[in-house]
Amino acid sequence: MFVAYEIDEDGLTVTSTSANMGTVLLPYGCGHHPYLSPGDALVDDRTLELRAATRIVTDNPRQLPTGTEAVDASPFDFITPHRLGDLHIDDPFTDVDRDGDGRVRVRLTGPDERTVELWTDEKLPILELYTGDTLAPHRRRRGLGAEPMTCPQTHWPPEKMFCSSNRDSR
């Protein structure tokens, strides 16, 4: 596996390249785990935008994917940006609406209108959002984990977990 970092007018681009050197299919998933925070306050007063139509439902306590549900009109519907409040999020989202350049964007905006944005291309079709509720008290809800991934944490759906040749993800 090779990871490259590049800074340009679009910001920081992280490119992960991996190759299966064997002769059989290899289960493989790739993701990055940045945290977004436009300032020092808790995420509660931040406004979140993520144009994703589906939340991947997981079990407790292992968070293994068990199915999907539409986010329309639920507390997890961030297609229209809204304040996070005390909503606990530790969920993967998919079926994203990409813009003209093929990117999906996660935007977190503070009350002072400062905004931090993460974008990813079609090679990372799932975004895990995490409000940090299970972290130590001094770190809890201080940032929003916005984690682009090739797949959820486990083999779901299994056909998207295999790497038979080179694969780039951004």
Structure tokens at 18: 């991996």
Kindly report the pTM of this predicted structure: 0.85
Question: CA nearest 84: which of 129, 52, 134?
Answer: 129
Give residue 154's pLDDT: 53
Structure tokens at 38: 């436009």
Give residue 5's pLDDT: 94
Give residue 26's pLDDT: 81
Give residue 98's pLDDT: 95
Report the 10 Å Cβ neighbour count for 46.
Answer: 27
* Ordered structural domains, the chain, with CATH: 28-158 (2.70.98.10)
Rounded CA separation 38/112 (Å): 9
Rounded CA separation 46/57 (Å): 24
Low-confidence ranges of the chain (pLDDT < 50): 155-156, 161-167
Give residue 129's pLDDT: 97
Question: CA nearest 92: which of 157, 43, 143, 45?
Answer: 157
